[in-house]
A = this chain, B = another copy of it.
Amino acid sequence: MTTPQPEHHPRIGVWIAGAHGDIAATLITGVSALAMSLVPTTGLTTVMPPFDRLPLLDPRDIRFGGIDVRSSSLASAAKSLEERSHTVDRDLLDAVGVRLKEIEQDILSRPDVVWDPSAPANRPPTSLVEVIEAVKEQLRAFRAKHALERVIVVNLSSVQPTPVSSPLTESLRGLEQLIADNRKDLVTSSACYAYAALVERCPYINFTPNVGTRWGSIAELAKRNRIPFCGDDGKTGETLVKTALAHMFACRNLQVMSWEGVNLLGNNDGRALENPLNREMKLRHKERVLDGILGYSPHVGVSINYVPSLGDWKTAWNLIHFRGFLGVPMTMQFIWQGCDSVLAAPLVFDLVRLVDFACCQGEYGPLRHLAVFFKSPLGVAEMDLQSQYRMLLHYAEQHLQNPAE
């Protein structure tokens, strides 16, 4: 990344749904610190060869804004990164403090725009049409205020229950009918974000397991408006390890009988996942990853337990019970102790840079080459981490050989 220059005007907006959360606070603090050359680039894929030869966004080119259901502040979220998670230190916080306050000006607290599709009582009075108009209006206002070339929308919101599936979501016409009919039982707030972003010609990154990006209607809209999008669900911890490790068992013909995973975590995500409805969606993503790599379906268990004292630090324990030669059973275990937001934030920044680049190249629809960043990549069956990474390498090399005009 280049050395800082005075008077740099950010040209790209990043609009975050869930802007007061731990990932957002880590992302904004980190990108601000990178812009000031205060921290190393560890954890970022796009700074490594060959990606470093692509003309990707500079941290100083980004202006953040967003929305959150919580009325807390970015500053208090960042403070808790220092005091609770010990992931940023006081000096860094002090250095980015002014910038965080500035960004806070562009964060809206809107507890009225999230609802639980399975709980009619909890749905806010605003209609879907009004919600979507509000989101569109916010995106337009943000772009106009800062004279931004482009606004990229990133969904970092909490896990939501999956609504009943409907064939109507598979066509744009059907989805728009559901919106007109105010079907909050079928169209979630995350789906509204995806829809509104694409209508406003904003690229959309779904870092959550929440529905929307997988619907035919969303792909249709992205294609019509020639806008790229990607998702679902950032691959940060346990699933990252699983998809890195499973190939070893496959290539040695070691037969995995059971692969059991337990995740202990204490952040908002953990709290949301205590709700069995939310959990079901998350777990489905996590359970699916092994079959393609192994070529068969072992017994898989994934549990997520809320342990408040752990805060944003997740501990995952996995036990893999497998057979080797002569059918002999053996065991491998791993324990992953990572900070969720520290693992997620650099992926989001990588995605913003690569999505922005894709826009510059005129690419649109689901960005399949970004599979390596997601638990449940759109339009990609390949789950093996290294194969996914080679897809990304291949993409970069193609562009380095044939740069767009």
Contacts and interface: CB of A to CB of B under 8 A. Distances in A.
Given A262-B262, A309-B257, A40 B332 contact: no
Interface string A78-96: 0000010011111010000
B389 A251 contact: yes
B252 A45 contact: yes
Contacts of A386: 247, 251, 384, 386
A303 interface: yes
Given A42-B323, A47-B253, A334-B334, 20 more contacts: A30-B325, A43-B325, A45-B251, A88-B326, A247-B386, A251-B372, A257-B309, A258-B308, A258-B309, A260-B305, A264-B301, A299-B307, A301-B307, A324-B338, A324-B339, A324-B346, A325-B343, A330-B342, A332-B338, A333-B334
B90 A90 contact: yes
A267 interface: no
A253 B45 contact: yes
A241 interface: yes
Interface residues of A, number: 74
A21 B258 CA distance: 24
* This chain: copies in complex: 4
Which residue of A43, A326, A332 has the most chain B CB atoms within 10 A of its CB atom?
A326
A267 to B, nearest CB: 14
A247 to B, nearest CB: 6
A205 B123 CA distance: 55
Given A44-B253, A47-B253, A258 B324 contact: no
Contacts of A44: 253, 325
Contacts of A301: 264, 305, 307
Contacts of A339: 324, 328, 330
Which residue of A45, A48, A324 has the most chain B CB atoms within 10 A of its CB atom?
A324
Interface stretch (A106-114, A314-322, A352-360): A314-322
Nearest to A301: B305
A302 to B, nearest CB: 10
Contacts of A333: 317, 334-335, 337
Contact of A26 (B245, B315, B326, B331): B326
Contacts of A257: 309
A254 B327 contact: no
A75 interface: no
7 contacts: A42-B326, A43-B323, A90-B90, A241-B248, A262-B262, A310-B321, A330-B342
A42 B299 contact: no
Nearest to A344: B325
A236 to B, nearest CB: 9
A117 B245 CA distance: 40
Contacts of A346: 253, 324-325
